[in-house]
A and B are shown apart, each in its own frame.
Chain A
Amino acid sequence: MNTIFRYTLSRSRGGILGWGIGMFLLGLMIVPVYSSFEGQGEMMEQLLDAFPPEMMAFFGEMSSLDTIEGFLEIEYFAILPLILGIYAITSGGGMIANDEENGTLDLVAAHPISRSSLFFGRFLSILTGILAILVLSWLGLVVPAQAMENVSLAGIGTPFLSLFSYILLFTTLALALSLLLPSKRITSMVVGIFMVADFFIQGFARLNTDLEAIADVLPLKFYQGTGWVTDRLNTSWFFGEIAVAVLLLLFAWWRFARRDIRVGGEGTWEFPLISKLRRGKVEVSGD
């Protein structure tokens, strides 16, 4: 498992560094951007009043934009789940499916390593990557925020902890689905649609109370990127998301251990019904 872990981490270090440095720079830039808005609260109020209420609903409590906490919530923490969600879907969905689709997994899996070692070695490298990106993101925000009042390192860390459980959830969801669905492309599409739909449902639920019941069970509801200065981490939400992620991970492991490693030309790359229809079509055309 150690060999798999180190090799996978080394292979993905470029991606991890790219995402990590990008997020670090975004953090470095976002606080100075706020500084340029600081003291222009009245003008911001007027600007916000001009927005339609439907649009305002997506950003939550917009009136707090003239404080550093509110500004970071709206301009930074509110969009982080979507940005890092892309990383989660790509890395989780591709953990096994990438190598399976390009054909390299067949040779690796024929070496004397168990499926469990292969699976958990790779997953640990993804977990390390997620943690590295989140730490770099946090550092990017901490450096400029140190000069500001009312902003503590721990306070800034709270949304990142919450983001960790959210990202882990989507990583394991994509991983589990990639072992069920015929291709990585379909997995990315399904999980991506789910993630964006969650984002919109949370927004619309602020306008339409009928949607609250759905919004309350979707992952973004449990993301604590807002209210992070005054509120402490809701550990029930945090560990609840972690628990779901662990269940998805265990399901994915169970599935991988029992499933065939796919190679080209086997007919397992499609949904069974589509595969059947296509075969029927070929047989008809072959007559």
Chain B
Amino acid sequence: MSETFAIKTEGLIKSYGSFQALYGVDLEVQKGEIFGFLGPNGAGKTTTIRCLLDTIHRNGGSVSVMGIDPLKDPVAVRALVGYLPGELSMEANQTGEKLFRYFNQLRGGKAEWDYIREMAKRLDLDIKRPVKTLSHGNKQKIGVIQAFMHRPELLILDEPTSGLDPLMQQEVLRLVEEAQSDGATIFFSSHIMGEIQAVADKVGIIRAGRIIEVAETSSLIGRSLNRATVRFKQSVDVASLANVQGVTVLGHDDGTSVTVQVEGEMDGLIKALAGFPVLDFETQRPSLEEIFLAYYKDGTD
């Protein structure tokens, strides 16, 4: 039964001394899907991932990765997985190329150098430069390439787009989708809802060490939360905006500007604003914590 799942955890518990990080996490990730693992900082995303790879040992529950218990055979699990850590650190004096050679040797030489060079080109990375001379974003690109380079059956990516500019973020998300097309399963953690929505088939939401919800990504789209600040050329009556579905007026300033919160699609607000002399329109993405507070007020806390 568990062979249909790339990842399956039941009642996963992990403590660090007296601090309990995971309180019985249940997850099922089907083979071949992109699973978004969403949660604010400190929610337990990285701890869950590290239990999957057995770089930390679980205190309770069961874990199966590609049908193997990582506690019993961690080497076999890691051979099937490409991993990008959330806090990526690498030897500062080594070049990207040397690191790829080292990681490739640790994997028994499974990587294809043509594929490495192709990814480096797509991500605009010079692999001949020492890590210490690279920006945070370029270091992240090395991390991305080393995770993909041996075409693993399962990719576990902990905040893969962290530190990348928007264009490169899109390129990494394309790599993720291509890997899925090639048959890989992707377990992808993030604290950015939009990025999960862009690629994931299914989303698991974790908060304070507990899974709050596992849902199809499409069901989250209607729950997206945005904040918009609109400035007008002259004073207008913004009361009508409050009647638009999903829009809540948070504040306004003498009718020359208004800040609203929009649940779901922005279409209604945009159409309503068409009748106003808009000078400036600025959207802000609220923090995941704010989204959680909005949607999971009666949750586990």
Interface on A for B, CB 8 Å cutoff?
Answer: 3-4, 7, 11, 102-104, 106-114, 258, 260-261, 263-268, 272, 275-276, 279
Contacts and interface: CB of A to CB of B under 8 A. Distances in A.
B16 A114 contact: no
Nearest to A118: B106
B79 interface: yes
B66 interface: no
Interface string B123-137: 000000000000000
A112 B17 CA distance: 27
Nearest to A114: B75
Interface residues of B, number: 32
A282 B7 CA distance: 36
A279 B106 contact: no
Given A3-B102, A260-B56, A261-B55, A112 B78 contact: yes
A31 B160 CA distance: 60
Contacts of B79: 112
5 contacts: A107-B85, A107-B88, A112-B76, A263-B46, A275-B17
Contact of B89 (A102, A258, A266, A275): A102
Given A103-B89, A107-B88, A276-B17, 6 more contacts: A11-B91, A103-B87, A104-B89, A107-B83, A111-B107, A260-B16
Contacts of B90: 104, 107
A261 B17 contact: no
Interface of B: 16-19, 42, 46, 50, 53, 55-57, 74-76, 78-79, 81, 83, 85, 87-91, 102-103, 105-108, 143, 146
Contact of A264 (B76, B87, B143): B87
Contacts of B108: 112
Contact of B87 (A4, A106, A110, A261): A106
A268 B17 contact: yes
A7 B74 CA distance: 22
Contact of A106 (B55, B75, B91, B107): B55
A110 B89 contact: no
Contact of B53 (A102, A110, A114, A276): A110
B91 A110 contact: no
A261 B102 contact: no
Contacts of B78: 110-113
